[in-house]
Chains A and B, each alone.
Chain A
Amino acid sequence: MEKPDRVKLLETMLLIRRFEEKLEDLSKEQGKLHGMMIVCTGQEAVAAGVSAALEPQDVIISNHRSHGHLIAKGAEPDLIMAEIYGKRTGYNKGKSGTLHIAAPEVNALCTTTVVGGGIPIAVGTAFAAQYEQKDFVTVCYFGNGATDEGSFHEALNLAALWSLPVIFVCENNVYSGAQRQEEHTRVKDLAHRAVAYGMASEVVDGNDVLKVYEATARARAKCLAGEGPILIECKTYRWGGHSTTDQQVYQPKEEIEQWKQRCPIEKLKKELLAAGILSETAWQQMNTKVNQLVDKSVQFAEESPWPDVTEALEDVFA
């Protein structure tokens, strides 16, 4: 297996972290954004690790907690931010907002906020690869809550039946809305649900970006060899609430603190510093660079024009 560029992985995670922090700030503190923000702070290793094992032609189908997935797949922060601002220059001309961004330019073809709604679609994109004998895989991201949806079960059954090249990535961040995992299902390892469909699966530490990368690389190779699909459960944790309007009354403070001790960014940073691969100076430079990228995206979004109201009537039909 090829070794990933670990410094690059760190930078991707840091960019996602700073992007999400900026969104929280713009939304909560400054009241600049329209609508609630759903951020992935604490879960950066999943998106970064998965995407590092993917090729540009690989497709991702994302869910409501999508910004990290999009950034890691190579989507432009400027265009994501402009979309979240609702500006004409955003990825989807302001029609998607924070919740449904599609960036076909990087094969991020669909972000859906219907819990579990993207899973059947991933079956379709993966079917296209098989039908046309093309070498690409589909990654479908969803949370632990989505595995309770009917669509999850129908889609996994069909994907397995047809041996489709799709990697189902269950980002288990402990919570489904306000429910802890044990309150929404009796299953402990959600990866085990794959057994019901005769599908391979794997449980990985979702806060260890290298582990996520390795699992995805293995899964991708299997899919391309016609041995798909596979379900990977990444065990991670949502530091914040479901969204920026969630007061987190149900989430114990000590639990959040414990998981913060297991920050995926701190973990990799320490390892790289200890191994001499990263210097303190390089770390500082990385922070400066990432902050500049995020600030630039905000500036781009703020300076971008609003869509004309007549544009609301466009793009319904091709």
Chain B
Amino acid sequence: MGEAVNQALREEMRRDEKVFIAGEGVGVGIHSNPKFPTFGLLEEFGPRRVKDTPVSEAAIAGLAVGASVMGLRPVVEIMFNPFFTIASDQIVNHAAKLRYLSGGKSKFPLVVRMKTGSGIGAGCQHSHNLEAWLAHCPGLKVVMPGTPADAKGLLKSAIRDDNPVIFIEDMILYFVPGQVPEGDYTIPLGVADIKKPGRDVTLVTWSKMLGTAFKAAAQLEQEGISVEIVDLRTLVPLDEEAILQSVTKTGRLVVLHEATRTGGFGGEIAAIVAEKAFSQLKAPIKRIAAPDIPVPYSKPLEEFYLPNEKTVIETIKAMI
């Protein structure tokens, strides 16, 4: 997926001179690796369009806000999702709100890419999934791809979108191979993808948990339980219709996400289904999420933190 993000950035920078990238180490970085998204871009586009910045998250985000209102299309990187808290004033109070405050006169076509995800032994200050915080801010779009192809198609759309888009990439996925369509491949924001059709239960998920969902579904299939996997891909805009249609078909809903449980985005999906499709439900809605703790470092503890297919399988079996 890292290479797919790289392809999207490269193609969009070739296509549109207004697109530039900035962030900590996007040119010459401590994570310089062909599997990482900004690899080789400095070489092709030079230091005018590939801007290495100091370690200054608020300034990086502000750069994007100011450059975008002038008509540029900045794609800036916040190295890890939790560091967004340092940039959050620019993202929450400015990027998200300034269009509204202008009465619709100004546009802020910017993308903030953030790396995330537990499973790399980096501990909680590098691995906290905060997508629910961002989805809670009106004015931001929030994208979390789970496959290389989706990453490419969604990022290209995000860059072309006239609104601030938060694009969250799980680092484990950088190393997961997958087919990526060549050329100008775009996926509209706000369209969920039925990654696997099924009959008995709807499993709504996104980002890295997609892999966990697949593993669980494959095993359940052998036991005669048919799981429909709905990959949201974007939390904002949310494809409510896809969720409701699937639940209407299966009558059961499980939401699976890596972020911690309380206040997680799974609660929002559960609420929407409870409000709009309650009568279709054959069993109570279930959420599978990380426990309400910071991501621990120790390998067995980190593995305990991350929701796994065993939990998914047990949860689904208990519902049917």
A residues in contact (CB < 8 Å) with B:
59, 61, 90-96, 100, 102, 104, 109-110, 112, 114, 117, 119-129, 131-132, 138, 150-151, 154-155, 157-158, 161-162, 314-318
Contacts and interface: CB of A to CB of B under 8 A. Distances in A.
Interface stretch (B30-38, B62-70, B122-130): B62-70
Nearest to A97: B101
B62 A124 contact: yes
Given A94-B103, A117-B94, A121-B94, 5 more contacts: A92-B102, A96-B103, A122-B62, A123-B62, A154-B59
Interface string B54-84: 1011110111111111111010000000000
Contacts of B138: 316
A121 to B, nearest CB: 4
A125 B72 CA distance: 9
B99 A317 contact: yes
A150 B62 CA distance: 13
B48 interface: yes
Contacts of B74: 124
Contacts of B58: 120, 150-151, 154-155
B147 interface: no
Nearest to B74: A124
B66 A316 contact: no
B101 A158 contact: no
Contact of B65 (A104, A120, A157, A158): A120
Contacts of A131: 20, 48, 67, 72
Interface stretch (B104-112, B218-226, B249-257, B300-308): B104-112
B89 interface: yes
A150 B162 CA distance: 29
Contacts of B70: 59, 109, 124-125, 128-129
12 contacts: A93-B104, A117-B93, A120-B66, A121-B94, A123-B59, A124-B67, A151-B90, A158-B56, A158-B59, A162-B51, A315-B104, A317-B139
Contacts of B64: 124
Contacts, number: 145
B157 interface: no
B66 A102 contact: no
A119 B101 CA distance: 18
B126 to A, nearest CB: 20
- Going nearest first, the 7 A-B pairs with the smallest beta carbon separation are A124-B66, A120-B62, A128-B70, A92-B103, A315-B104, A93-B103, A318-B162
Contacts of A61: 66
Contacts of B139: 316-317
Contact of B66 (A123, A150, A154, A318): A123
Nearest to A112: B94
Contacts of A59: 70
Contacts of B98: 102, 110
A318 B107 contact: yes
B53 interface: yes
Given A96-B103, A109-B106, A150-B58, A121 B66 contact: yes
Contacts of B61: 120
B70 to A, nearest CB: 3
B133 interface: no
Greatest chain B CB density within 10 A among A96, A155, A158, A162 is at A158
Contact of B54 (A126, A151, A161, A316): A161
A110 B69 contact: yes
Contacts of B105: 92, 102, 104
B59 A122 contact: no
B175 interface: no
B89 A151 contact: yes
A124 B102 contact: no
B59 A104 contact: no
Given A125-B67, A318-B99, A158 B54 contact: yes
A269 B162 CA distance: 48
Contacts of A90: 103
Interface string B125-149: 0000000000000110100000000
B62 A119 contact: yes
Given A124-B70, A128-B71, A318-B107, A151 B62 contact: yes
B89 A124 contact: no
A131 B46 CA distance: 13
Given A109-B106, A112-B93, A95 B100 contact: yes
A128 B102 contact: no
A92 B64 CA distance: 22
A102 B93 CA distance: 15
A317 B94 CA distance: 13
B163 interface: yes
Contact of B101 (A96, A125, A157): A96
B163 A123 contact: no
